[in-house]
Amino acid sequence: MTTDPNATLDQWAEGSDYRWGFVTDIDADTVPPGLDESVIRFISAKKNEPEWLLEWRLKAYERWLKMEEPEWPHFPDRPYGPIDYQAISYYSAPKSDEDRPKSLDEVDPKLLETYEKLGIPLEERAALAGVAVDAVFDSVSVATTFRDKLKEHGVIFCSFSEAVQDHPELVKKYLGTVVPAADNYFAALNSAVFTDGSFVYIPKGVRCPMELSTYFRINALNTGQFERTLIVADEGAYVSYLEGCTAPQRDENQLHAAVVELIAMEDAEIKYSTIQNWYPGDENGVGGIYNFVTKRGLCEGDRSHISWTQVETGSAMTWKYPSCILKGDDSIGEFYSVALTNHRQQADTGTKMVHIGKNTRSNIVSKGISAGYGHNTYRGLVNIRRGAVNARNYTQCDSMLMGETCGAHTFPVIEVGNDTAHIEHEASTSKIGEDQIFYCNQRGISPEDAVSMIVNGFCREVLAELPMEFAVEARKLLEVSLEDSVG
Amino acid sequence: MLQITNLHASIDDTPILRGIDLTINDGEVHSLMGPNGSGKSTLAKVMAGDEAYEVTEGSIVLNGQDLLELDPHERAAAGLFMAFQYPVEIPGVTMKYFMRTAMNSVRKNRGQEELDAYEYLSVVKERAATVKLDLELLDRPVNGGFSGGEKKRAEIFQMAMLEPSACVLDETDSGLDIDALRIVAEGVNTMRSPDRSFLVITHYQRLLSYIVPDVVHVLVDGKIARTGGKELALELEEHGYSLIEKGNAVDA
C-alpha cells in the first residue's frame, strides 16, 4: 500500500502515462473531457490513494469497457441520450470563489423564490445557490462541533476521501462488498471514476446520537457527479442518515451515477432517507439531470434492519432501486418511496428484496405521482431464496395520475424458491379527480391547497417514515413541485 | 340575503337554467322542488362555482357580494355552503384534518384568526354533538367507507363547522332511510337562525315534513314555474309535477 503521494505520482508519471500518451499537470484543477486509464490514475493520484484502490478502480474500468449501456425503457415524451462518455470531464476541483456569484443578488430570482417557498433558512440559501460568502464558513464551524460530538461516541463520519486516508482498513474491508465494482454499467463507471462521497462507521453497540443530516446538507455540495457512500453499522449499532436536500440544486453535470452501500451487522439498524430534488429540466424537457443510482444494503447479521425512505421529485430521468439483501436470520428490509414526475420528467424506481436468511421480512410501500407529461414506473423484485424459511413480504404500490397526458407503469416481479413464504401485493391507480378538488374548494380550500392535501394524504405512509423535520420539508416540496400542474 | 337574478347557465352550449329569479331573506328556509332534469342540481353547482357550467347571464349576490366574481373557495369564505348529493372520498386525508384545513382557510379568508389544535378540537366536539356525529368518523378518511347516512350527516357536520350564511342542500335526502333522514333534518333545524338562509333542494316532499320550509319553489325546464307556501309541497305530492308541467304555472 502506498501512502506517499509522490511515490504514487512518480509511478504514474513514469509508467502508464507515456504509454497512454497523456500528460497532465497534476496541479491542474480539471482534466480535459474524456475517459481512459490515465484519467483514472490521475484521479487516484490527485486523491493520494493507496495502490489497492487504484487497482480496484482500474479493474472496474476494464469491466466497464466491456459492458453495454442499458437500454432502459423511456417514454417518447422526452428524448434520451446517447450519453457521450468522452465528453464528460471526470475531475474538476470545486469552483473557486471568483467563479461563484458574489451575493444573492446575482442568483436567479426564481431559484430564490423557490427557497423562500420551501422555507430554507437564509444562511443556507446562499450556500445552496453557490454564493461565496461567510455563511458557508459558519457552517464549517457548526460541522466541526458535530464532528467532535460524534467522535466522543466513536462514530466515524467523514468524506470518502478522508476515510481512504484515515481509515484505509475499514474502506478496504467493505468497499464493493455490497455493490461489486462491476455490478452494473453505472456502478462500474462510478467505481472507476468516483471522486468523493461520505463514509460512516458506527461502532458496536453505539446509537448514533444525532441524525446525520444537517452537517451533510451543507457539505454535500460539490461532491460531484460520481458520488460514493459507504455506511457500516457494527453489531447493535443504530444510525439514521439523510441524504440530499429539498432545495433545488443546480448542477451543470448532466449525468449523476452515485453508488451507496450499507452494511448492517447483527442487531444493527440503518435508516437511510433521501430527498432528491436535482434540476428536472424545463417544462419542455430541455436539460435536467440523469440520475442513475445504485443503492443497496446488506443485512449481514441476524436481526439486522435496513430501511430506505426516498422522496424523489427532481431529475429529468431517474433510475434507482434501493435494495436489501436479507442475509441474516430475522433481518428486516424496508423501502418507502414517493416519486413525483411533472412536466417531462421520468422516474423508474423501485426496490429489490432478496430473502436469504430465515424469518426475513420485507415491506415495500411505493407511491408514484404523475402530472403533466411525466411518467412514473415502479419496478420491483421480491426474491425468496430456497433457504429462506418463513420469509414474508408485503408490497403496496399505488399510482396517482393528474391530468390526461401523464403515465403510470408497474413491473413487479416475484420469485419464490421456498414454499413457506408469505407474500402480499396490493396495487392501486387513482386519479386526482376534479370532483375531489371541487369538493375541497367548496369547503373553502384553494385548488393548490387541495391538491397538496390530496397528494400528502396519498403519500402519508411514506412521509411518516421520514425524520420529523424532513417530513415537513418534503410536504412543502411536493406542493411546490406540483404548483403549476393545477389547471 | 341571497339574491339570484335572471340566472342563465349552460353545459356544453346546452342551456339548463333559463332565467332564475330567487330571493331568500336571512332566516328563511326555501325549498326548491321539481321533476328530474329540471335543473335543480345544476343551480346548486352553479352557485358553488362548478366550472363544468357556464353562466351566460344573470347574477348571484350573497350579502352584497357577487358570487360569480369569486372562485369556488372564495365563495365558501363569503358564506356559501353546499351539501353535496354525492360527497366524494378523499383517501389518506382524515375528516379531522380536512375540516381543520377548511376551517382555517375560511377563517383566514374572512380575516379571522386561525384556530389552534386545542380550540379546533373543542369546536369539533361541540358541533359533532349538535349533529349527532360519531367522533370516530372524524379519524377516518374523508367519506371513506362511510354509509349513505354517515356521508350526509358528515355534510351537515361540515356545515355546522363552517358557519355559513347561506346553505344549499342538494338532494340531501336521496338514499336515506327514515331514521337517517330524521337525524339529518334535526341537524339542519338546530342550525336555523335569523342570520342564516337555506335552500333545500329535493325531489320528494317527505324531507319537508322534517325541515319545514317558509317558501316552496317549483323548477320546470330551468325556470321557476311556481312559488308558494309549504302547502305547495303537499299539493305536488298529491298531484305530481304533471300539474305544473301542463302549463298551470301561477306566480304566487
Least confident of A127-136, A223-232, A436-445: A127-136
Q: Which residues of B touch A365 (CB under 8 A)?
A: none
Name the β-bridge partners of A469.
Answer: none
Q: Are the Cβ atoms of A458 and B91 closer than 8 angstroms?
A: yes
Domain contains B162: yes
Q: d(Cα B127, Cα B104) in Å, to the nearest integer? A: 16
Name the residue type at position A79: P
CATH number, position B160:
3.40.50.300
Question: A430 touching B, CB under 8 A?
Answer: yes
pLDDT at B252: 38
In eight-state DSSP terms, residue B104 is H
B196: which 3 cell numbers? 342564516
Name the residue type at position A348: D
Q: Are the Cβ atoms of B88 and A439 closer than 8 angstroms?
A: yes
Domain contains B218: yes
Shortest alpha-carbon distance between residue A338 and chain B (Å)? 14
Shortest alpha-carbon distance between residue A245 and chain B (Å)? 25
pLDDT digits (tens, 9 = 90+) for A155-189: 998 888 889 999 999 999 999 999 999 999 999 99
Least confident of A123-137, A370-384, A414-428, B47-61: A123-137
Mutate: best of B93, B140, B165, partner A, most A CBs <10 A: B93
Q: Are the Cβ atoms of B102 and A443 closer than 8 angstroms?
A: yes
Burial class (CB in 10 A: 0-12, 13-18, 19+), A380: buried
- List the single residue in B77, B91, B92 with the smallest CB-CB distance to A444: B77
Q: Are the Cβ atoms of B72 and A441 closer than 8 angstroms?
A: yes
Domain contains B29: yes
Shortest alpha-carbon distance between residue B85 and chain A (Å)? 11
Q: Which residues of B touch A454 (CB under 8 A)?
A: 90, 92-93
pLDDT at A137: 35
B 84-123 residues with CB < 8 A to A: 84, 87-88, 90-93, 97-99, 101-103, 105-106, 109
Between residues B248 and B110, the one the model is more confident about: B110
Mutate: best of B41, B47, B90, partner A, most A CBs <10 A: B90
pLDDT digits (tens, 9 = 90+) for A227-269: 899 999 999 999 999 887 655 555 556 788 999 999 999 999 9
Q: d(Cα A115, Cα A128) in Å, to the nearest integer? A: 9
Domain contains B138: yes
pLDDT at A231: 97
Domain contains B222: yes
Where does the pLDDT of residue A108 fall: very low under 50, low under 70, confident under 90, or very high at 90 and above?
low
Closest chain A residue to the Cα of B88, Cα to Cα: A436
Q: Cis peptide before A50, with omega less than 30 degrees from 0? A: no
Q: Which residues of A touch B92 (CB under 8 A)?
A: 454, 456-460
pLDDT at A197: 84
Mean per-residue pLDDT over chain A, rounded = 82
Burial class (CB in 10 A: 0-12, 13-18, 19+), A175: buried
Q: Are the Cβ atoms of A439 and B158 closer than 8 angstroms?
A: no
Domain contains B251: no
pLDDT digits (tens, 9 = 90+) for A40-61: 999 999 889 999 999 999 999 9
Is pLDDT at A219 greater than 60 in this prediction? no
Q: How many domains are contained in chain B?
A: 1
Is pLDDT at A319 greater than 60 in this prediction? yes
Mutate: best of B45, B47, B73, partner A, most A CBs <10 A: B73
Q: d(Cα A11, Cα A58) in Å, to the nearest integer? A: 15
pLDDT at B214: 95
A 439-458 residues with CB < 8 A to B: 439-447, 449, 453-454, 456-458
A433: which 3 cell numbers? 379527480
pLDDT at A198: 87
Shortest alpha-carbon distance between residue B124 and chain A (Å)? 15
Shortest alpha-carbon distance between residue B247 and chain A (Å)? 36
Mutate: best of A428, A435, A442, A449, partner B, most B CBs <10 A: A442
Q: Are the Cβ atoms of A439 and B81 closer than 8 angstroms?
A: no
Residue contacts between A and B (CB atoms, under 8 Å) = 80
Q: d(Cα B243, Cα B236) in Å, to the nearest integer? A: 8
Q: Which residues of B touch A457 (CB under 8 A)?
A: 90-93, 141
Q: DSSP alpha helices (H): ranges in A119-184?
A: 122-128, 134-152, 160-166, 168-174
Domain contains B250: no
Where does the pLDDT of residue B87 fall: very low under 50, low under 70, confident under 90, or very high at 90 and above?
very high
Q: Which residues of B touch A458 (CB under 8 A)?
A: 91-92
Closest chain A residue to the Cα of B82, Cα to Cα: A442
Domain contains B32: yes
Are A345 and A355 in contact, with CB atoms under 8 Å apart? no
Range of the domain at B168: 2-245
Q: Are the Cβ atoms of B158 and A443 closer than 8 angstroms?
A: yes
Shortest alpha-carbon distance between residue B194 and chain A (Å)? 22
Handedness of CA B31, B34, B36, B40 (dihedral sign): negative
Q: Are the Cβ atoms of A445 and B50 closer than 8 angstroms?
A: no
Name which of B48, B89, B83, B93 is nearest B161 in CA terms: B83
Range B113-136 average pLDDT: 91
Between residues A175 and A86, the one the model is more confident about: A175
Closest chain B residue to the Cα of A449, Cα to Cα: B101
Mutate: best of B11, B81, B105, partner A, most A CBs <10 A: B105
Q: d(Cα A151, Cα A145) in Å, to the nearest integer? A: 10
Range A327-347 average pLDDT: 95
Are B115 and B103 in contact, with CB atoms under 8 Å apart? yes
